Structure 1
Amino acid sequence: DILELMRQANFMTVFVGIETPEEDALAGIDKKHNAAVPMYEAIETLNSFGLEVTSGIILGLDTETDGSEQKLIDFVDKSAVPVLTMNLLQALPKTPLWDRLTREGRLLHDASLESNVLFKRPHDDVVASWRRAIAHAYEPAHLFERFKYQVERTYPHRIKTPLKGKLTRTNLRRGLILGFNIALRVGVLSDYRGVFWKAAGHALRRGQIEAVFNMGFVAHHLIRFTREALRGEHNASFYAAKADQAKEVRTPWWQAARRFLPT
């Protein structure tokens, strides 16, 4: 079984392009295979082999309704996927989507917009749904609750690798620096330190020290990114012309995050 082989090879994370939890929407974008196995069942299966799922989500699909936002939020909570990249639909050149939207007259060339797609729903409504969805997903209590689920249902299924060869002076130094940064920035200075320590205690009681490092580091950057996005400092689509303009005047968050890593 390939999943067992991945577990034995110490795979820890797998990216799944879920796109949307709505099956009719998947059919509309020719991705019915995403629902070949019920989504929650598929995620639980991956978790049972020690694989933490990260997923890609797209908003602005043609089949979206006013109820799609709540369905997405429900999916975030029920699936317990910690990290989800939520983007507005963006048409890239030389793709079937680009060609179809061109034929339909729905390809926009306005760099001030969050996407180059003329959505079926009002543009501002789609952007507002994106903002509310990321705000919910990365509200600290919700995010750490999903990490606690991983501590219980995913991480215990991983094969523990021997420490021999890992406890080098360099690795210990890096671990101490990273641990200090997490303890200071997340455990002391952040306004969500309470929920962090609850989740950290949950992991430590189960002997999962690495999980504390992981959730602290990842949560810090996800929460910061979300708050910046809600202030309008990040675009709702990473591929939009508006986002390209913003990149010229600031460092992307995922590159800026590197300054917190030990060297």
Structure 2
Amino acid sequence: MKSQSGLTLVEILVAMAILGIILILVTNWETQTLQLTTKTNTLATQIAELNDLSGYIGDRVRSASQVRLTGFTVNAASAVNAGKCDTTTPCLAVLALEEEVNTATTPSTVTRTWFRLVYRVEPRSTWSSVSKVPDTWADNAANNVVVVREYRDNCIEASGGVCSASSPPLTVDAYKASFSDAAFSSMSPALVTDYLSSVDQSGAAITPFALDTVTNTIILTFQSKRNVKSVTTFTPADNPMTLAVQARNVN
């Protein structure tokens, strides 16, 4: 009879051990790759959101005829922190004009709309839970996560120098003069961006809005902050993003 050969028990155990090591290495590699991909995607998203935020507010500042940072409240009856503009809820108010040309008419017509806009940094923890994506980490006030909200109203110029459909009737000049009021009320709020930090990596407070009154330059300073898979990251990684915007139409 021919002898039969096969693997011994020791050889089988050695093979299983080698296979186990290979599987562990592959699993670790896949885990690290997934973590790197997640981190890269999060970083790209944060950078894009910061660029969008700075560009959006920057465009408003460039076209502004007036800007303010302090000395007023916004929606005091309903906004957090009683609508104050202070170190807890910093603000930037902008009075801007938009002109829309309608070429479908002959001759072309121009619609002029004045906007009062207030950009306000508010703690995410105070933001209504029905209006945001739940995030236990971000909603913990100790983590210093903030959002930027825009409060706005407008005046569409009509014939006779009045604001269209205003009740009671309001002149355009009176609307523009109201930008100096101590309280803005009944403004419509909307979220501009989420997941910003009110402090940098060192724990120093971030000043999101600053004004150089000599050059009429607004300094925008923002830094994103997220917690992904229990790892907290800041973007930019070293220092907050800063953008100097010239308010060209402010006298």
TM-score (norm 1): 0.23
Larger radius of gyration: 2
Between Structure 1 and Structure 2, the one with more strand by share is 2
TM-score (norm 2): 0.24
